[in-house]
Structure 1
Amino acid sequence: MVIGLGRFGSALAVELASHGTDVLAIDSRPNVVQRLSGRLSHVVTADSTDVEALRQLGVADYDRAVVGIGTDMEASILTIANLVDLGIERIWAKAVTDQHASILKRVGASFVVLPEHEMGERVAHLVAGRMLDYIEIDSDFAMIKTEPPRDLVGVPLGETKLPDQYNVSVTAVRSNVDGENAVFKPATPNTVLMYGDVILVIGRIADVERFADSL
């Protein structure tokens, strides 16, 4: 279920539904529910801070929940507490500040995201370097999408000094020669990169940033 259908929650619910996931979407605002009724098969108006209202909706039958309530911190905290009381074990929650995130974890949220903060960090990495994309996988580990530097072109990856010089690894390549039909394929020691290819590189954040700065 997805509770709180603002921009974050509604986009998440619609995306899940488009991939065939059975989604129960809940929001306290009738106009929001009405707007999404044509895109979601199960969308209802309810007050998620009322545990009885959630119980009547059969919320306890769901094994996963996402709480997309952001600015109303009290409502997000009470909603998560209610979900915990109803036995929901896996709860994702949106937070707007680090303090908010800390409280949500204490109340019972399994995973907490700060969309604006995380997107800001991601864009900062893209603006500062020559990356095509940046994804932080863990607190000190990331993946970047970029084009290969000159010293990697025309040489099998196994013969390069990439791991020793930068402590990063090329995991996948989208070949330029395949044109519009190109897809990412796993990189091997025998993979030879060409100009115009796109590569996925993983490593510690400091190392992938150092690699990107060398491009």
Structure 2
Amino acid sequence: MNRKEFAVIGLGRFGGSMVKALSDEGVEVLAIDNDVEKVNQFAHIASHAVVGDTTDEAVLKSLGIRNFDHVIVAIGDNIQASILTTLILKELGVKKVTVKATNDYHEKVLKKIGADQVVHPERDMGRRIAHNIVSNNVLDYLELSDEHSIVEIVASRRLDGFTLIDLDIRAKYGINIVAIKRGREIIVSPQATDVILKGDILIVIGADKDINRFEKKLVEE
């Protein structure tokens, strides 16, 4: 799997939590803000942290922003700067742009100018969003506590045709598959002899570190 590179623009509460969460996921993160103090706070957390005005196209070009796989615009206190930054990112050809919206009007404008994903941090956890954008297989992520979660994972070809007893997931990874979604069918409390098919949605519960281990070993393609 190719190593993805992310950039986070705006290091307020939401942007800062995204930088920390993405760094915890072990990916390359460029942190950008026009406030020197905020940039200094994240200098040792992000892979790189720079001061810059992202409403200036020349600044974004100089950072090589078009080479990043995913850019998160977390500018919170200036809707105009958020919109302008998003517009420039899309014009420069950034593959995926996720933007924090302050209100419904802001969201409507962001979608019209091409934002790929709009999030409302008040309704979404930074950690949940970070996990979802890093993994190709994770559909949803619900934090139960600081260390335990319920996760929806799409079964890859590596799991296709194996029964739960073949995979021995509970013994090897310490996690439990509590349900399997297959189209409109939901298998609750699946049996050891139930076969997993590619594309099944596995609802998994366990410690974050064990779920991450399972993803890396068996799920990611």
TM-score, scaled to structure 2:
0.56
- The 4+ residue runs of structure 1 with deviation greater than 4 A are none
Match in the other structure for 1:24: 30
> C-alpha separation between the residues in 1 aligned to 2:102 and 2:55?
19
For 2:176, the equivalent position in structure 1 comes to: 184
- After superposition, the CA RMSD in angstroms is 2.9
Matches within 5 A, 1:35-114: 35-114=41-120
Identity of aligned residues (%): 39
**CA distance, structure 2, for counterparts of residue 21 and residue 61 of structure 1:** 15
Say how many residue pairs are matched.
139
> How far off is 1:117 after superposition?
4.1
Q: What TM-score do the two structures reach when normalised by structure 1?
A: 0.57
Residue 7 in structure 1 maps to residue 42 in structure 2: no
Amino acid at match of 1:46: G
Find the aligned partners of 2:93 and 2:56 in 1 and give their Cα distance: 15
Unaligned runs of 5+ in 1: 120-135, 138-142, 146-177, 192-199, 202-215
What is the Cα deviation at residue 110 of structure 1?
Answer: 0.4
For structure 2, list consecutive stretches of 5 or more residues without a partner in the other structure.
Answer: 1-6, 126-138, 145-169, 180-188, 193-202, 205-221
Whole-angstrom distance in 2 between the partners of 1:117 and 1:186: 25
The alpha-carbon deviation at position 182 of structure 1 amounts to: 6.4
Match of 1:34 among 40, 64, 69: 40
| Bigger helix fraction | 1
Partner of 1:132: none
